Amino acid sequence: MGPDLLVLARAPSPPVDERPHQLALQVQGFRVQGFCDDALMLQLLDGAYASGSAGTWDAEHVGTFQSFAIEPPATARASSALVTTAAGASFVASTGAAAGHFYVIELALDRPHPLLPHNESGGEIWLLQRPAAPRLLLADWRGTLGAATLGLVPPDGLVRAELHWPDALWLRRQAALVRALVVSPDGEVVVAKTPAVALWM
């Protein structure tokens, strides 16, 4: 509603017939989903917009709505979004956690060692290596991984952090999974984790 209109996504309208159809919009964290007769029509991430509301219109056909209903909010589900820049990345996560909890940003590398040499066809040369779990890096109060990578969950449950690349040769050209860990107010237990998003360093 209002003078400004921003198209976030387009989807085909339901089949044109005389029977009624049920249209539903559902918002969970950054995810907006549109359903027609319980079938998923569209899905998009809307993490960049903190205000406004979603609506629908059909420019080709004239329809009438018989009734509107707003359901209670669904149980909060964590979500994550990441935007890379030349020097690092901006990470935003909806934790669903109450204020007073701590959060810490975690990087999980896809491999605990530098890239292996490549053969003529571009594949990695096979080397006998011991199995190893991914190397994990956790943010600290010194801001080693960037600004606001460790702190208190705000009242709205949104975590915002600016990541920069750690100064380590073995991290260059690595892929990492980034997520936020939510820690209990006493700092003893990890109570929730946001979905991990991929990041190339």
pLDDT of residue 47: 58
Q: pLDDT category, 50, cuts 50, 70, 90?
A: low
Does the pLDDT at position 124 exceed 70? no
- For the ranges 6-15, 36-45, 122-131, which has the lowest average pLDDT? 122-131
Cβ(34)–Cβ(11) under 8 Å? Answer: yes
How far apart are alpha carbons 83 and 100 in whole angstroms?
27
Residues 142-191: tens digit of each pLDDT:
988 899 999 999 998 899 999 987 666 556 666 788 999 999 999 899 99
pLDDT at 33 over 90: no
For 12, list phi and psi in degrees, rounded to 5: -60, 145
Residue 170's pLDDT is what? 58
From CA 61, how far away is CA 154, in angstroms rounded? Answer: 44
> Which region, left, alpha or beta, applies to residue 89 given φ > 0 means left and ψ of -120 to 50 means alpha?
beta
pTM value is 0.57
Domains, the chain, in order of start with CATH, read 1-75 (no CATH), 79-200 (2.60.40)
CA atoms within 13 A on the CB side of 195: 12
Q: What is the DSSP string of 69-87?
A: --PPPPPP--EEEEEE-SS
Name the pLDDT band for 48 (thresholds 50, 70, 90): low
